[in-house]
Amino acid sequence: MGLKVLAAMSGGVDSATAAARAVDAGHEVTGVHLALSSNPQSYRTGARGCCTLEDARDARRAADVIGIPFYVWDLAERFKQDVVDDFVAEYAAGRTPNPCLRCNEKIKFEAVLDRALALGFDAVCTGHYARIDEADGTLRRAVDDGKDQSYVLAVLTRDQIAHAIFPLGDTPKAKVRAEAAQRGLLVADKPDSHDVCFIADGDTQGFLARQLGGAVPGKIVDSDGAVLGSHEGAFGFTVGQRKGLRLDRPAPDGNPRYVLSIEPVSNTVTVGPAAALEVSEITAIRPVWTGCPAPSSPVECSVQLRAHGEVHTCTAELTDDELLIRLHAPARAVAAGQAAVLYEGDTVLGSATISAAS
């Protein structure tokens, strides 16, 4: 029995193929392109000149080829509030946010899903590379390791996952492209998107400086507090960053130095040797459990600490609402604000936001 499915169509090859597969699976599919940025440039009152006009067109043409109804939903306000403003605020607070994760959590599987359910749809379908286990409804990694997006979906609750369809999780990207071409989808050759979608020129530092009202000069110090250089705003740095520090003098031992921490209140960036980046204890907050019940005793599992990052074995322990992750071997460059996603094999157990590491 087919479901009424709303397919989020970005204009890219993945979401187009996913929508087509949902149709093949017998669902009644409606395509929706999410207009996420507003750019009032025309004469019309409140007009949205979408920055992604071409993407909207590509999505519409894909829907035509698949033969499904198509609409554009204006989510620019929600996107700004829940993703862009959050992104800026997180950097300003010295953390390193993942906007794709936030977009999945707040836009695709909250704003869009809620509206879809209210309108009578049963599920939202996207082109994410992840699998949902048919037997137990858990979220699993995609078969294509290189494309796996379970990390940016792990923030979803069980209820959100129960209303999600990811038709591409069992297929390598190359095959998806070939299939799109076979289906006559003109987006088959469209390049993958990589950068933060709302920073068109890829210049995150410049974007943050504009959003936060310009440069705020501050100091770069070592762990002893010795001043090694200056910067134009602590918000521009990420833990583990090596390039672009422009320090006045080399380290005594001649080894490269990395950002160890960012202190937004005093606007101070602390740097040190690679060894000082190593952490073995991570605290994470706001845990979500989808692959198991909230554990009452320590769990042996593995953890991924950033998108496309390495997987570390660990012991995870939940106390109150805080997750303590003890890594079996130290990891480097763990940034607050990123998600710590716990896996058992390729199944997501749960996810939480990193608040501290030592």
Partner 1 sequence: MSTCPVIYLDHAATTPMLPESIAAMTEELAQFGNPSSLHNAGRRARRVVEESREQIAEVFGARASEVIFTSGGTEADNLAVKGMFWARRAGDPRRTRVLTTAVEHHAVLDSVHWLADAEGATPQWLPVDDCGLVHADSLRAALAAGPDGADSAALVSIMWANNEVGAVHPVAALAAVAHELGVPFHTDAVQAAAQLPVDFAASGVDAMTVTAHKLGGPVGVGALILGRAVAPVPVLHGGGQERDVRSGTLDAPAIRAFAVAAVTSARRRAAEAVRVAALRDDLIRQVLRAVPDAVLNGPPPGPGRLPGNAHFSFPGCEGDALLLLLDARGIACSTGSACTAGVAEPSHVLLAMGADEARARGSLRFSLGHTTTQADVDALGGCIGEAVTRARRAAGSAAR
Catalytic positions are 103, 197
What x/- string results for residues 39 through 58 when contact with partner 1 is judged by CB under 8 A? Answer: ---xxxxxxxxx-xx--xx-
Residue among 56 and 161 whose Cβ is closer to partner 1: 56
What token pair was written down for 223? 């762990």
Q: Does 10 bind partner 1 (CB under 8 A)?
A: no
Q: Does 226 bind partner 1 (CB under 8 A)?
A: no
Q: Does 249 bind partner 1 (CB under 8 A)?
A: no
- Please give the C-alpha separations between residue 146 and each of 15, 18, 114, 139, in angstroms, as whole numbers: 17, 18, 31, 17
- Please give the C-alpha separations between residue 104 and each of 35, 109, 144, 166, 193, in angstroms, as whole numbers: 15, 6, 20, 13, 16
Q: Does 107 bind partner 1 (CB under 8 A)?
A: no
- 81-86 long-range contacts (CB < 8 A, ≥24 apart) are 82/106, 82/107, 82/111, 83/36, 83/107, 83/198, 84/198
DSSP summary character for residue 269: E
User: Of residues 114-143, which lie at the interface with partner 1 (CB under 8 A)?
Assistant: 114-115, 117-120
Residue among 121 and 289 whose Cβ is closer to partner 1: 121
Spatial neighbors of 150 by CB under 8 A, at least 6 apart, are 130, 131, 139, 140, 141, 142, 341, 343, 346, 348
Segment interacting with partner 1 (CB under 8 A) among 70-78, 166-174, 215-223, 280-288: 70-78
Nearest distance from C-beta of residue 28 to partner 1, angstroms:
9
Whole-angstrom distance, CA of residue 78 vs CA of residue 41: 20
Q: Does 293 bind partner 1 (CB under 8 A)?
A: no
What x/- string results for residues 14 through 33 when contact with partner 1 is judged by CB under 8 A? Answer: ----------------x--x
Whose CA is closest to 221, among 243, 241, 242, 247? 247
Nearest distance from C-beta of residue 116 to partner 1, angstroms:
8
Considering CB under 8 A, how many residues would be counted as binding partner 1? 32
Q: Does 162 bind partner 1 (CB under 8 A)?
A: no
Q: Which residues bind partner 1 (CB under 8 A)?
A: 30, 33, 35, 42-50, 52-53, 56-57, 60, 67-69, 71-74, 78, 111, 114-115, 117-120
